[in-house]
Homo-oligomer: A and B are copies of this chain.
Amino acid sequence: MDPRIREHAEVLVDWSARIERGDDVVLVLGPDAHDLGVAVAEKLGEVGANYVAVYAAAEMGRAYTMAHDGDFEEDPAYHLALYENADAALILGGGRNAAEFGDVPGEKVQARRKALAGVDEARLATDWVKTVHPTRSLAQQAGMSAEAYADFVYDAVLRDWESLADEMARLKDVLDAGSEVRLRKRETDLTMSIAGRTAVNSAASVAYDSHNLPSGEVFTAPFDTEGTVRFDVPMTLRGTRVRNVRLTFEDGEVTDYSAETGEDALDEILATDAGARRLGELGIGTNRGITRPTGSILFDEKMAGTVHLALGRAYDACLPAGEAGNDSAVHVDMITDTTDDATLEVDGEAVQRNGVFRWEDGFEG
Give me the interface of A with B, judged by CB distance under 8 Å: 22, 24, 26-27, 29, 31, 34, 37-39, 41-46, 48, 50-57, 59-61, 63-69, 71, 73, 76-79, 81-86
- Asked whether, in the complex, the Cβ of A78 is within 8 Å of the Cβ of B85, the reply is yes
Q: Which residue from chain B places its CB closest to the CB of A69 in the assembled complex? A: B48
- Asked whether, in the complex, the Cβ of A81 is within 8 Å of the Cβ of B82, the reply is yes
Known pairs A24-B78, A38-B63, A48-B68; list 12 more (Cβ under 8 Å): A24-B76, A24-B77, A27-B55, A31-B31, A34-B59, A39-B63, A41-B60, A41-B67, A50-B73, A53-B60, A78-B81, A81-B82
Given A29-B55, A60-B37, the answer on whether A65 and B78 have CB atoms closer than 8 Å is: no
- Asked whether, in the complex, the Cβ of A67 is within 8 Å of the Cβ of B52, the reply is no
21 residue pairs bridging A and B, Cβ less than 8 Å apart = A27-B55, A34-B59, A39-B63, A41-B63, A41-B64, A43-B67, A45-B67, A46-B67, A46-B68, A50-B76, A50-B78, A50-B79, A52-B76, A76-B85, A77-B85, A78-B82, A78-B83, A78-B84, A78-B85, A81-B84, A82-B82
Taking the closest CB of chain B, its distance from the CB of A1, in whole angstroms, is 10
Given A46-B68, A81-B82, A85-B78, the answer on whether A53 and B63 have CB atoms closer than 8 Å is: no
The oligomer's copy count stands at 2
- Asked whether, in the complex, the Cβ of B54 is within 8 Å of the Cβ of A52, the reply is yes
What separation, in Å, do the CA atoms of A69 and B65 have in the docked complex? 42
Contact partner of A24 (CB less than 8 A), chosen from B34, B45, B57, B79, is B79
Ranked 6 nearest A-B pairs via Cβ? A45-B67, A78-B85, A81-B81, A42-B63, A55-B55, A45-B68
Q: Which residue from chain B places its CB closest to the CB of A82 in the assembled complex? A: B82
What separation, in Å, do the CA atoms of A24 and B116 have in the docked complex? 14
Taking the closest CB of chain B, its distance from the CB of A22, in whole angstroms, is 6
Taking the closest CB of chain B, its distance from the CB of A67, in whole angstroms, is 3
Contact partners of A59 in chain B: CB under 8 A: 34, 38
What separation, in Å, do the CA atoms of A83 and B78 have in the docked complex? 7
Taking the closest CB of chain B, its distance from the CB of A42, in whole angstroms, is 4
Contact partner of A86 (CB less than 8 A), chosen from B48, B63, B78, is B78
Given A22-B73, A50-B73, A68-B45, the answer on whether A55 and B37 have CB atoms closer than 8 Å is: yes
Residue of A43, A53, A55 with most chain B CB atoms under a 10 A cut-off: A55
What separation, in Å, do the CA atoms of A31 and B35 have in the docked complex? 11
Contact partners of A82 in chain B: CB under 8 A: 52, 78, 81-82
- Asked whether, in the complex, the Cβ of B57 is within 8 Å of the Cβ of A54, the reply is no
- Asked whether, in the complex, the Cβ of B53 is within 8 Å of the Cβ of A57, the reply is yes
Contact partners of A46 in chain B: CB under 8 A: 67-68
Contact partner of A53 (CB less than 8 A), chosen from B27, B54, B85, is B54
Contact partners of A24 in chain B: CB under 8 A: 76-79
Contact partners of A38 in chain B: CB under 8 A: 57, 59-60, 63
